[in-house]
Structure 1
Amino acid sequence: MKKALKIFFFTIIVVAIFFFGFLPSMIDKSMNKVTSQPPFPKDSVYEAIPFIADLHCDALLWDRDFFEKHNYGHVDLPRMLEANMALQVFTIVSKTPRGINIEHNDDHTDQVALLNFAQLRKPADWFSIKTRALDQCHDLHSFAKESGGKFRVITSKRDLEKYIADRKQNRFITAGMLGVEGAHCLENDINNLDVLYDAGVRYIGLAHFFDNEWAGSAHGVKKGGLTEKGKDLIKKMAEKNMVIDLAHSSQATISDVLKLHSGPVVVSHTGIKGVCDNNRNLTDEQIIEIGKHNGIIGIGLWETAVCGTDAAATAKSIKYVADKIGVDKVGLGSDFDGAIGTHFDVTGLPLIVKALEKEGFNQEDITKIMGGNIRDFFLRNLPN
C-alpha cells in the first residue's frame, strides 16, 4: 500500500511538472510555427522605411519572456527592434472554443481558461474573461515600464506624435498599442467599455470565433448582425474615439456597422475573397464600403487569409485591395502569434517588401503599406 501511494504521488508530481513547466511552451511552439528561419537580409528599400507597423499580434496570450529573443513564435522585443518595427498592435484573446474553425463554433467551451491554468496565471483569470483581458493590458504596460525606454504603449494622438518625434532621433525604440478580439470580454456590461478604455484599449473587434451578446461572428452558429446592445456599443465606442475592428465579424455585422457608423473602421487581419475565397475573407463590396469609411484593411500572413504562406501571397492580396480602394487604405495585419503558421517571424518583413516590388509598387507606396498608412490612420483617429 505504501509503495502504491509513493508511485501515485510520484506520478502526480511528474505530471504536474510537465503540465505547468513544459506544456505551455510546447503549445506555443506547436501553434506558432515559422517555416523559414532567420536571418532575413534587408536592402536599402527596407532600411529607408521610417515607420513599419502591423495591426494585429496575439503575443500577449502566451507566457513568453517579452525581453528574450526566441527561436520560436513570431514577436518579442529583440526581434521587433531587429526588424525596425515602429508600432505593433497587441490584441487580446480572452476566449476560444475547442475545435476552433472558420465555419461553425459555439461559446460552450473555453480553451484560454485551460491555457491560463497551465500558465499558472491567477485564479481569477481561469474564470473571468474580463479579468484575463485586463491582465493582458497590464502585462503590456509592465513591459513598457521594465524596458528601460526601449518600448512604450501608445494610447493617444499626443503619445503617437511624441513617439514619432522621438523615434526620428533614436530608431532603437519601438511601441505597442492595445486592441481586443471579441467584445464578449465586456461580460455583457457596456460599462466595462470604460474599464477597457482606461486600461489602454483603443480598438475592439466586435466578435471573435463565436457569436456573442453584441454581434454575430463569421464563424458562429447564427452569424447574425448587431444586437440592440451591439448598436449601443458602437455608439459609445464612437463617442470615446475607439476604433471598431470588423475582423471575424459576420456578413450581417459588417453590413450593420457600415450602415450605422459613419466613422472609420479597421479590419485588423484578414484576406480577400477575390484572391482567397472562404468564409473568413472580405468581399469586393465590403472592401469598397470600408474604403468609403476611410478605413484601413490589414492583410494577413497565414494560409487561410491569403491562400499561401509566403510573402508573395500576402503581397498579391495587398495589391488587390490597393487596386480597389487605393494604396492609402491597406497595410499589414499579420496575426503574428495567433496560433498560426507563417513563413517568417517579424524579422522576415523585408520579404514582404521584395514581394511588393514584384507586384509593381514603388518605394513611396511600399512606405505607406509597410506602416505609413497605419501611422496616419491612428494619428487621425486616436483620442487627443
Structure 2
Amino acid sequence: MNNPGSSQPKVEVADFHCDVLSRLLEHPETDFLKGGPLDASGERLKSGGVVLQCFAIYLSQKWGIPKFELILGQIERFRRQVLEQGGVKHLRWKEEVEKIGHTPTPGNSTLWGLLSIEGAEGLEGNLFYAEAAFDLGVRLLGLTWNYANWAADGVLEQRNGGLTNKGRKLVEWCNQKGMLLDVSHLSEAGFWELAELAARPFIASHSNAKAVCGHVRNLTDEQIRAIISMDGRMGLTFFPPFVSEHGTAAIPDLLKHVEHVCSLGGEKQLMFGSDFDGIDAWVEGLEHPGCYPALVEQLLARYPEDRVRGWMHGNAFTFLHKNLPAAP
C-alpha cells in the first residue's frame, strides 16, 4: 500500500472503448478538442493522462439499415476531426506501440487513436468492405452489437446462437489479415465458438464480471478464465448497470470487479474500456476521462504501483505489441 502522504505518480492510461465517432457523425460541428457534448473530448483525454484511446465505429439502430457508408462516414470524422484537427496519432502497426507514451514536451504526451468497429452489421456481409476498413486503419472488430446480424448473434438475442457460415468466413479472414477480435456484446455461444476459431487471443473491450454484477452484458467466470488462458484482454467498463446491481455506482464498486478478475488469475489481462459517449449514466467520480486520476488514486491506495500501471496501460500495450500486424 502506498504512503498516503506521498505525491501520486503520473500513470498513463489506455482506454479501449469510447463512442466519440458516432457522436461526431451526428454532430459534425462539434470541436473534438473542446468537446461540446462529448464526454471524451481531446482536452479531457489529455488532462486524464490518456495516451491511447480506442475509438469505436458504432452504427445506431435509429439510423436505419446498417450501411458501409456509415462506417466510412465515421472513419472520415476520425481522420478530419480526431487526427488532423485533434492532433491524435493513428495506431495501426505493432511497431508503433513502442512510441506510445513518449513525451515530446514535458507534461504533453501524444494521444494515439486505435480504430474499432462495434458490430459487423455495416460490413453488409462483404469481405471486400472488411478489407477496405482494414486498409483505412481499422484494427479491431466486434462481430455483433447486442442483437443478431449476418455474422453472429448478440448477447441480447434470446436464442443464444453462435456464428453463421458468413461469420466463420469473416473470422477466417480476420485470422489471415491480422484484424483483432472483440467479444463484448457477443452471445455466449458465439464466444465459445470464436474461442475455437480465433488464431490469436481476443479481447472483451468493455465488459465486467457477472459474478460481481449479474448483468447479461458481463462475462461469466468461465469466460474470463478463457480470456486469461489465451492471454487475451478484458477492459472493465464504467456504465453503472454493468458495475453494480444497485443502479448507481462509485469507484469502489468498480474496484470489486478488479479484485474479482485478479482472483481468477487475470492480473496481466486486465485493462479498462470506459464506454464514454456510449453511456447515459456515469460512475460517480468517473464522469469523463479527466477523472482517470481519481481512479488511479484509489487503485494506488490498495495495490502496488507496478500492478496499477499494468492495468491502466501496460497490459494493453503488451497485447497490442504482440498481436497487431506488422507494418508492410
TM-score by length of 2: 0.88
Match of 1:61 among 22, 26, 34: 22
Distance in 2 between the 1:279 and 1:315 partners? Answer: 19
Asked if 1 retains the 8 angstrom alpha-carbon contact of 2:162 and 2:187, the reply is: yes
Where in structure 2 are the equivalents of 1:145-294 lying within 5 Å? 145-147=83-85, 150-165=87-102, 171-294=108-231
Which residue matches 2:3?
A: none
Residues 334 and 144 of structure 1: is their aligned pair in 2 closer, same or farther, counting only changes over 3 Å? closer
1:379 is the counterpart of 2:316? no
Asked if 2 retains the 8 angstrom alpha-carbon contact of 1:315 and 1:352, the reply is: no
1:91 is the counterpart of 2:53? no
Deviation of 1:357 (Å)? 3.4
Asked if 1 retains the 8 angstrom alpha-carbon contact of 2:17 and 2:273, the reply is: yes
**1:208-233 superposed Cα distances (whole Å, 9 cap, x missing partner):** 02101111101124331011111111
Residues 243 and 44 of structure 1: is their aligned pair in 2 closer, same or farther, counting only changes over 3 Å? farther
Distance in 2 between the 1:374 and 1:92 partners? Answer: 20
Asked if 2 retains the 8 angstrom alpha-carbon contact of 1:130 and 1:187, the reply is: yes
Where in structure 2 are the equivalents of 1:302-321 lying within 5 Å? 302-307=239-244, 308-321=248-261
Asked if 1 retains the 8 angstrom alpha-carbon contact of 2:32 and 2:82, the reply is: no
**1:62-106 superposed Cα distances (whole Å, 9 cap, x missing partner):** 123202144x5410111111112100000011133xxxxxxxxxx
Residues 69 and 334 of structure 1: is their aligned pair in 2 closer, same or farther, counting only changes over 3 Å? same
**SS of corresponding position for 1:263:** coil
Distance in 2 between the 1:368 and 1:238 partners? Answer: 27
Which residue matches 1:363?
A: 305
Match of 1:330 among 270, 273, 276: 270
Asked if 1 retains the 8 angstrom alpha-carbon contact of 2:51 and 2:100, the reply is: no
Distance in 2 between the 1:183 and 1:136 partners? Answer: 14
* Bigger Cα Rg: 1
Asked if 2 retains the 8 angstrom alpha-carbon contact of 1:211 and 1:223, the reply is: no
1:48 is the counterpart of 2:13? no
The answer for unaligned runs of 5 or more in structure 2 is 1-5
Q: How many residues align?
A: 310
Deviation of 1:144 (Å)? 4.8
Which residue matches 1:80?
A: 45
1:353 is the counterpart of 2:296? yes
Corresponding letter in the other structure for 1:68: K
Deviation of 1:143 (Å)? 2.9
**1:145-182 superposed Cα distances (whole Å, 9 cap, x missing partner):** 5337x321111112333344455876342111100110
Which residue matches 2:72?
A: 134
**1:211-266 superposed Cα distances (whole Å, 9 cap, x missing partner):** 01111101124331011111111111111111110000001000101122241101
Corresponding letter in the other structure for 2:55: F
Residues 52 and 381 of structure 1: is their aligned pair in 2 closer, same or farther, counting only changes over 3 Å? same
Deviation of 1:128 (Å)? 5.3
Which residue matches 1:122?
A: none
**SS of corresponding position for 1:373:** helix
TM-score by length of 1: 0.76
**1:255-314 superposed Cα distances (whole Å, 9 cap, x missing partner):** 101122241101000111110012111000000011111100000111121114322122
Corresponding letter in the other structure for 2:121: H
**SS of corresponding position for 2:53:** strand
Single out whichever of 53-62 and 336-345 deviates more from structure 2: 336-345
**1:302-344 superposed Cα distances (whole Å, 9 cap, x missing partner):** 1121114322122211221122123110011111100331131
Which structure shows the bigger proportion of residues in helix conformation? 1
Distance in 1 between the 2:105 and 2:171 partners? Answer: 36
